[in-house]
Homo-oligomer: A and B are copies of this chain.
């Protein structure tokens, strides 16, 4: 029961950090849609200020790269918490730093909302790697990404 409550506490802290405390995440309007430890998911709505091409009304590429960077880091933070949690109680959200990022832009970002998912493909003691994808509200893949991160 203590563990249950602690897990809920971590989840609430994560949500608050990602959605409220990190200023640029607020600019992007990122919301945690799922904290599935295998594949966490962020959601954001299309808004006028996120547009990169006003004629075509599509997402700015920077919104896409920013969101994929964040969801990759979130996936690694969660995997990292899970790993540690087997031994010791977790108090602090791990500090994850992006080493590098690749984004493939596959289709124009059109839609009312978008979902970004991250998956850890390597979790070392010092470096972790995640694969990410962004889909539109019809499930169509807008972009994919790959990022290497330093694990605090």
Contacts and interface: CB of A to CB of B under 8 A. Distances in A.
Interface residues of A, number: 46
Interface string A101-131: 1111111000000000000011000110101
A62 B54 contact: no
Interface in A9-58: 21-28, 48-54
Copies of the polypeptide in the assembly:
4
A49 B52 CA distance: 18
Nearest to A125: B126
A66 B60 CA distance: 8
Nearest to A48: B23
A74 interface: no
Interface in A122-149: 122, 126-127, 129, 131, 141, 144, 146, 148
